Amino acid sequence: MLSAGSLAAAAAAPVSRDDPESSDPGRRPISTAAGSAVVVTANPLASSAALRVLKNGGTAADALVTAQAVLAVVEPQSSGLAGGGFLLYWDSQQQNLEVLDGREVAPQRSRPGDLLTPIGDPLPWREATARLDAIGIPGTVALLWEAHQQFGRLSWARSLQPAIQLASDGFLPSPRLLRSISLAQRIGAGHNQAFTALYLPGGKPPPADQAFRNPLLGRTLEALAQRGGADFYRGTLARQILREMATLQAGDPDFRGWNPTDLSSYAVLRRQPLCSEQLKHQICTMPPPSSGGMGLLQTLALLNQTTDLPGSSAADPQTWRQLARAQAWADADRLYWVHDPIDGGGPAAALLNPTYIQDRAKTMQAKPTKAPTPGLPPGIGRYPYGRPDKGREQGTTQVTIVDKFGNIASYTSSVETVFGSRHLVAGMVMNNQLTDFAFAPRINDQPVANRRLPRRRPMSSMAPTLVFRQGQPVLALGSPGGRSIPHLLSRVLLASLTWNESPQRSVGLPHLSSRGQRLVLEQDPPIPWPLPLDQLQTSDQPARQQRVGSGTALVQKINGGWHGAADPRREGTALALP
Ligand code: GLU
């Protein structure tokens, strides 16, 4: 079935922008659940704590606060209080889709070249992830606080209780947590003493059979429970964070530090969802500063132009090949154009303009061997930005919840790479999200769109998504996966909405990810490839097999009931109320 020579399995780099947490060799059965309310998270402790909240009459927002707080304790390699994220929230009573942007921002003293070497070259990506300059002002607590105030029914303090208890009393570390600690050690964690003391006691990951505690994080969560989310930005906790950052700064003379207004001026931003009619559904996703949402919609739009979708199935090589091509062409646009709309808005809508999509599909089909380059969307007559050279520049989690009132939360949350910067402050993993900016602010005498500037949010690939039919939500999903996120989500949506696969098969079928001139075909997928892999080999894109680190959390309405499925590539668990 497989032509061994041409499709050799390749060892992936331990972490990269395409796989910021590396792919996990753990494999579990695909967790599914169905009922009147469903929660899907990347960890069984987070899913069961969130389900209890739903059982006690909480909304999807209350359950989300609990899930994220528990994940900060039990899955700290992927998300936490000192990270950032995006929330799409369907408010069933108001029949309204809200979008909350809790992305990290660059501190006021940032300079465009902070992640360049003294001679002006981009720092190697992995080295940059450990820099204090990589840490963005966190948005997660502000986002949770906003979601609680706007959509919550239960008390904030009560929603944080399960996490406080797990951090203080301890829990058995999961196999994936222990593997992630080893990975952090391999990529470098020695630069932060608090990190190594907690996660690498005696130079090794903690024992698997003993309760693991993080009392400092327990105290931080307790402070938040007592004083509310604002304490993180303007209260006692803010002062503690600033003090600890100043202590770290003493060891890094180049870092210019945070000032109190960096924290006090942080704001969650309300945005308009980016929506488009694709695969016979209205698909709504995250707008800029995410490029993942735009990339997802553009991929599906290009696929629609070039493939007989009604006649396609998972066994049809042509659909897979066109999917790969569409991913690559969508990447060329999103990675060039999309940036924080703070300075006038990116051209996300223009990049989805039907005439533009038709033209672009024609170019894509006419030149199959040409490396994709960004297009010029309507209304833009020239290329205003320098084109980052992908080759030179070189953890996230998804929670999806539907409650019994019909509210839906699709939330992607991140500390960027595995354990973020591997710096701990007040027991919290500090993100390295600012490595999502282009490191070189100018290329060929032109500014780069996604360059680092004070108070800006770095371009993201995270794309929490909701799908509607006749105005009502029928599916919600999202995934980690760094730059591969729109690739992963386009494949899952194709399976659910066009191939009519079950939630379980939709998350478990193999992934394909087009990475520049190389095509990654998932090695050892949870559900085997439904076609011979040599049918996917093309002359323009050499393919290789590699593990893929997706973590899809999906809920879907089928025959009036909600069904959830968790990606078996991580430790995800779906649970439901009857
Ligand atoms: N930092 C990435 C982004 O915002 C997400 C990383 C991941 O998915 O692990 O696009």
Q: Are 399 and 411 in contact (CB under 8 A)?
A: yes
**b vs e for 453-492, b when ≥16 Cβ sit within 10 Å of the residue's Cβ?**
beebbbbbbbbbbbbbeeeebbbbbbbbbbbbbbbbbbbb
SS3 546: strand
CA of 15 to the centre of ligand 1 (A): 12
CA of residue 165 to ligand 1 center, whole Å: 28
Structure tokens at 555: 């809920």
What dotted CATH number matches 15-270+391-444+454-527+536-577? 3.60.20.40
Atom of ligand 1 nearest to the CA of 479: 8
Q: For atom 7 of ligand 1, which residue has the closest CA?
A: 482
For residue 305, how far is its CA from the centre of ligand 1 (angstroms)?
Answer: 29
Strand partners, 32: 565
**Cα 123 from Cα 112, distance rounded (Å):** 13
Best of 129, 414, 548 to mutate for ligand 1, by most ligand atoms within 8 A of CB? Answer: 414
- Residue 482 C-alpha to ligand 1 middle, in angstroms? 4
Six-digit token pair at 380? 């833009």
Q: How far is the CA of 301 from the centre of ligand 1 (A)?
A: 23
125, 421, 485, 567, best to mutate for ligand 1 pocket (most atoms within 8 Å of CB): 485
Closest ligand 1 atom to 433 CA: 1
CB burial of 336-345 (b: ≥16 within 10 Å; e: otherwise) equals bbbbbbeeee
Cα–Cα dist 349/362, whole Å: 19
Q: Which of 416, 430, 459, 484 to mutate to test the pocket of ligand 1 (most atoms within 8 A of CB)?
A: 416
Angle at 563 between CA 557 and CA 566, to 5 degrees: 130
pTM of the model: 0.95
Give the tens place of pLDDT for each residue, 310-354: 889 999 999 999 999 999 999 999 999 999 999 876 688 899 999
Query: Going by CA atoms, what residue is nearest to atom 6 of ligand 1?
Result: 482
Strand partners, 574: 40
Atom of ligand 1 nearest to the CA of 485: 8
Compute the distance from residue 460 Cα to the ligand 1 centre, in Å. Answer: 6
How far does the centroid of ligand 1 lie from the alpha carbon of residue 18, in Å?
A: 9
What is the amino acid identity at position 276?
S
Which of 187, 460, 489, 513 best tests ligand 1's pocket when mutated (most atoms within 8 Å of CB)? 460
| Residues 6+ away with beta carbon under 8 Å from 183 | 14, 15, 21, 22, 77, 418
Pocket mutation for ligand 1, best pick of 340, 396, 432, 569 (most atoms within 8 Å of C-beta): 396
**What is the CA(109)–ligand 1 centre distance, in A?**
24
Instruction: Give pLDDT, residue 103.
Output: 98
Mutation choice for ligand 1 from 125, 436, 550, CB with most ligand atoms inside 8 A: 436
389: CA distance to ligand 1 center in Å? 19
Measure 93 CA to ligand 1 centroid, in angstroms.
32
292 C-alpha to ligand 1 centroid (Å): 10
How many C-alpha atoms does 116 have within 13 Å on its Cβ side? 15
Closest ligand 1 atom to Cα of 19 = 9
405 Cα–ligand 1 center, Å: 31
Nearest alpha carbon, ligand 1 atom 5: 482
Q: How far is the CA of 289 from the centre of ligand 1 (A)?
A: 12
Q: How many CA atoms lie within 13 A of 158 on its CB side?
A: 12
Residue nearest (by alpha carbon) to ligand 1 atom 1: 416
Domain boundaries, the chain: 15-270+391-444+454-527+536-577
Task: Return the pLDDT at 3.
Answer: 41
Tokens at 428, concatenated = 């919290």
- Which candidate, 295, 343, 348, places its Cα nearest to that of 457? 343
Nearest atom (ligand 1) to Cα of 436: 1
Question: What is the distance in A from the centroid of ligand 1 to the CA of 195?
Answer: 21
Specify the pLDDT at position 392.
40
Cis? peptide before 374, omega within 30° of 0: no
What radius of gyration do the chain's Cα atoms show?
22
DSSP single-letter state for residue 448: -
Residue 561, helix vs strand vs coil: strand
pLDDT of residue 29: 87
Atom of ligand 1 nearest to the CA of 481: 8
Count CA atoms within 13 Å of residue 249 on its CB side. Answer: 13
Residue nearest to atom 3 of ligand 1 (CA): 460
Residues 489-542 pLDDT 10s: 999 999 999 999 999 999 999 999 998 778 999 999 999 999 999 999 877 778
Say how many Å lie between the CA of residue 38 and the centre of ligand 1. 25
Q: What pLDDT shows up at residue 516? A: 75
pLDDT in tens, the chain (578 residues): 344 344 655 555 666 766 676 666 666 789 999 999 999 999 999 999 999 999 999 999 999 999 999 999 999 999 999 999 999 999 999 999 999 999 999 999 999 999 999 999 999 988 999 999 999 999 999 999 999 999 999 999 999 999 999 999 999 999 999 999 999 999 999 999 999 999 999 999 999 999 999 999 999 999 999 999 999 999 999 999 999 999 999 989 889 999 999 999 999 999 999 999 999 999 999 999 999 999 999 999 999 999 989 889 999 999 999 999 999 999 999 999 999 999 876 688 899 999 999 999 999 999 777 789 999 999 898 999 998 765 444 389 999 999 999 999 999 999 999 999 999 999 999 999 999 999 999 999 999 999 999 999 999 999 999 999 999 999 999 999 999 999 999 999 999 999 999 999 999 999 999 987 789 999 999 999 999 999 998 777 789 999 998 999 999 999 999 999 999 999 999 999 99
pLDDT at 98: 98
Ligand 1 contacts (CB < 6 A) are: 20-21, 395-396, 414, 416, 433, 436, 460-462, 480-482, 485
- CA of 484 relative to ligand 1 center, distance in Å: 9
Count Cα atoms within 13 angstroms, Cβ side, for 367: 10
Indicate which atom in ligand 1 lies nearest the CA of residue 417.
9
The CA-to-CA distance between both ends of the chain, in Å, stands at 43
